[in-house]
Structure 1
Amino acid sequence: MNDLIGELERFQPWNEQEERDRLLLLRLLRTDETVFSRENDAYHMTASAWVVSPDRTQVLMAYHNIYRSWSWLGGHADGERDLLAVAVREVREESGVRTVRPVSKEPFSLESLTVDGHEKRGRYVSSHLHLNVTYLLEADPEEQVVSKIDENSAVSWFPLQKAVEMSSEPWFRERIYQKLNAKLLAR
């Protein structure tokens, strides 16, 4: 956990949202040992990936079954404290892409994400927060993609702006995906 705290202390926020969420993540990481487990039903750590093509013109997205929206890839830490490893694992599981590599080992973005109550595998999950660390990853758009049927119904590459437009979640489009593209283009 100390490695992640150090990474978040060094993280340079892009905007006020990232700074406020960085402070929240640091506070909870320092005070709650259950933060890496879904057993904490109020909030827990997750890792997401903004997966881009080597030429930085495309983004890999999945059509998420619960949210009924195109979205980034990622998932729960489930006890794992290496969130970069979680992001890479989730990309492989959710897209079938085998060759994926970090553009950087440092976090690319930070978010505190609200999750509405929903059914998952026949069981109700209460509304909660995902304390999310996003990593910038790279993969080859020519590699075959495969849906993970219990989580998504499609996986596809989109041009940067089209990836934003494909999301049916306004807050993600305007506050997260636009930001990720802006940060990518500023690199």
Structure 2
Amino acid sequence: MSSLRTALLAELRAYVPADARERAMRDRLAAFIASQPRAFERALTIGHVTASAWIVNAARTHALLTHHRKLGKWLQLGGHVDGDPDVRASALREAREESGLRSLRFASEAIYDVDIHAIPARGSEPAHEHFDVRFAFEADGAEPFVVSDESHDLAWVALASLADYGADESVLRLARKTAHL
């Protein structure tokens, strides 16, 4: 087992979840990484590890969300780790690729959140799960962003307005944690 994978497992086991639901997801995520040699590879069709970026402005009043092209809903930025167990680097890479922001910096080096969510079948890709490790970032809310081909749109959304964007419980949980950053 690689040192990055071992370190991630130790960090996940030490991570303190926000509630019982997140605790159950943390435990499943750690067990998945420990038992699946190809956990970080997108080719693992039952599911794979992904990395996300919860990006807030300096005042921590707004989050940058993407209207995801494939899923058709407003979410945090992030994506596949492409075989790399360095989930921090993957979260940062995905955030930069999907937003074009250069002012991104970690709000904390620690894991911010974990989530496991179902991805529906699409084309030849079967339904599967994303085992998502999430990190908090801060960015200059005035810096222009670029909408990538993975998104319909990007927007700085007021945390108080997330429900107006149809935010699901996992995004609302990210927002609730923002006060503790």
TM over 0.5: yes
CA apart distance, 1:161: 2.2
Partner of residue 173, structure 2: 179
Share of identical aligned residues, percent?
A: 30
Task: List per-residue Cα deviations over 1:46-73 (Å, max 9, x = no partner).
Answer: 0111100011001001111111112110
Hey, what's the Cα distance between the residues in 2 that align with 1:56 and 1:101? 13
Q: Measure the CA separation in 1 of the matches of 2:23 and 2:46.
A: 21
Q: Residues 7 and 14 (structure 1 numbering): CA distance in 2 closer, same or farther, change over 3 Å?
A: same
Q: How does 1:77-156 map to 2 (within 5 A)?
A: 77-119=81-123, 124-149=124-149, 151-156=150-155
CA contact under 8 A between 2:118 and 2:129: conserved in structure 1?
yes
Give the CA deviation at 1:13.
Answer: 0.9
- Runs of 5+ unmatched residues, structure 2: none
Distance 1:18 1:153 in 2: 29
| Among candidates 55, 58, 61, match of residue 62 of structure 2 | 58
- Per-residue CA deviations over 1:80-108 (Å, capped at 9, x if unaligned) read 11111111111111111112111111110
CA RMSD of aligned residues (A): 1.2
Contact 1:63/1:152 (<8 A) preserved:
yes
Q: Is the 8 A contact 1:110 1:134 kept in 2?
A: yes
Stretches of 4+ aligned residues off by more than 2 angstroms: none
TM-score, normalised on structure 1?
A: 0.90
- TM-score w.r.t. structure 2 length? 0.93
Q: Tell me which amino acid in the other structure corresponds to 2:156.
A: W
Separation (CA, whole Å) in 2 of partners of 1:163 and 1:91? 19
Structure 1 gaps of 5+ residues are: none
How far is the alpha carbon of 1:165 from its aligned partner?
Answer: 2.7
40, 43, 52: which is aligned to 1:39?
43
Per the alignment, residue 164 of structure 2 pairs with 165
1: distance between equivalents of 2:83 and 2:18? Answer: 28
Tell me what 2:27 maps to.
23
